[in-house]
Structure 1
């Protein structure tokens, strides 16, 4: 498979950090971190990893693809749930080792496999030296057991 991005070979730090060549830096496992936000609200909806193939597919289709570390497989977001993420904009950080994509989600607009709009549906609350989680989203938008037939 050919990829629609460059290698970092022979590029200086300035060329990587200030130039126009898209040359993502994958970690030792061949992955790059990806922060995903809602294009309209700006809310963080999830965090995932991409490998070269999922990044390439995302660029070519304008639909989010990731690498599932738990399943060790390519993952087209929404292929099972119908909540496909249409990529509105993709950015890369200064040293090109993290990606930020802004998406609009089709379907129930849930981005989390638990049915919530965001994977970050709970906040920490530390009281009397004990940290608990508090829900910030009222309820899931779909039942994961129905969608994923668990």
Structure 2
């Protein structure tokens, strides 16, 4: 499915899709809202998850904690429909641009997994950037 990685020129400037998976067989994936550009989440993909994402246009990831493939939204109903798949310059990070079928990408019920920031007055504390949840995770999971 993927091209063999041959040399720097082929990887960085060529047209071959030759993703670089780490020694655990995973590649990081940043998922972004296709309309707003907001980062919704970060997850890992293995070769199967990436292949499934390409074939189905549904964001599919590899759960390290569960040790298995998961299609985003299969239990929550909050699917991510892939509009575009981007790869960084040396093909070791994937970016998905997605449309959510329902609001709330985070398993904690928030629109984005990045709902807190480090407090500028106290670097040991977090401040909520998004206060309202999109859904109640206790009712979904």
TM superposition score normalised by structure 2? 0.96
Q: Which residue matches 2:4?
A: 7
Q: Deviations over 1:83-121 (max 9, x none)?
A: 0000111110111100111110002x1100001000000
User: Structure 1 runs of 4+ off > 6 angstroms?
Assistant: none
Q: Which residue matches 1:54?
A: 49
Q: Which residue matches 1:118?
A: 112
Q: Which residue matches 1:142?
A: 135
Unmatched 5+ stretches in structure 1? none
Secondary structure of 1:53's partner? helix
Task: Within 5 Å, give how 1:21-60 maps onto structure 2.
Answer: 21-60=16-55
TM superposition score normalised by structure 1? 0.91
User: How many equivalent pairs are there?
Assistant: 141
How many angstroms apart in 1 are the aligned matches of 2:3 and 2:108? 36
Unmatched 5+ stretches in structure 2? none
Shift of 1:7: 2.3
Shift of 1:36: 0.7
| Cα RMSD after superposing both structures | 1.0
Bigger radius of gyration among the two = 1
Secondary structure of 2:119's partner? strand
